Chain A
Amino acid sequence: MSSATGPPADGASSPEAGTTGSYLVLLEEEDVDASISALKNAAGVSVTSAADLEAGALDAEQLRAEPSVVFDRLAVAVVTVEPDQLEAINASVADAASPLSVVEPERRVFALETPAPGGGGISPAEQAPALSADYLRGFRDATQCLTSSVGGAQAAALPELAPTAVDESQVTWGLQAAKVPSSRYSGRGIRVAVLDTGLDLRHPDVKGRTVVHRSFIAGQEVQDGNGHGTHCIGTSCGPRTPGRLPRYGIAFDAEIYAGKVLSNEGSGSDRGILAGINWAVTSGCRVVSMSLGASLPCPGTGQGFSPVFERAAQRARRAGTAIIAAAGNDSSRPAQVCPVSHPANCPSIMAVAALDSRTRVASFSNRGFNPEGGQVDIAAPGVDVRSSWPSPTLYRSISGTSMATPHVAGVAALLAEANPRASATELVSLLTSTARRLPLPAVDVGAGIVQAP
Chain B
Amino acid sequence: MGLTVSVEDEYAEALDDVVERLRSAGMEVEEVLPALGAVTGSAEGSQLAALGDVEGVSDVEAARAIQLPPPDSPVQ
Contact = CB atoms under 8 A, between A and B. Distances in A.
Whether chains A and B associate is yes
Interface of A: 197, 226-228, 231, 262, 266-271, 273-275, 277-278, 281-282, 291-294, 306-309, 311-312, 315-316, 319, 329, 342, 364, 398-400, 402-403
B70 A271 contact: no
Interface of B: 2-6, 12, 30-31, 33-38, 40-41, 58-61, 63-71, 73-76
A266 B6 contact: no
A171 B52 CA distance: 52
B52 to A, nearest CB: 11
A326 to B, nearest CB: 10
B61 A308 contact: yes
Given A274-B33, A316-B35, 4 more contacts: A266-B68, A270-B63, A278-B33, A399-B75
Contacts of B37: 311-312, 315
Contacts of A291: 76
The 3 closest A-B pairs by CB, nearest first: A266-B68, A278-B33, A271-B40
Contacts of B12: 315
23 contacts: A226-B71, A228-B68, A267-B65, A267-B66, A267-B67, A269-B65, A271-B30, A274-B31, A277-B33, A278-B31, A308-B5, A308-B38, A311-B38, A312-B36, A312-B38, A315-B12, A316-B35, A329-B75, A398-B76, A399-B75, A399-B76, A402-B68, A403-B76
A226 B60 CA distance: 32
Contact of A270 (B34, B35, B61, B67): B61
B70 A266 contact: yes
A398 B61 contact: no
Nearest to A312: B36
B6 A308 contact: yes
B6 A262 contact: no
A219 to B, nearest CB: 15
A269 B63 contact: yes
Contacts of B65: 267-269, 294
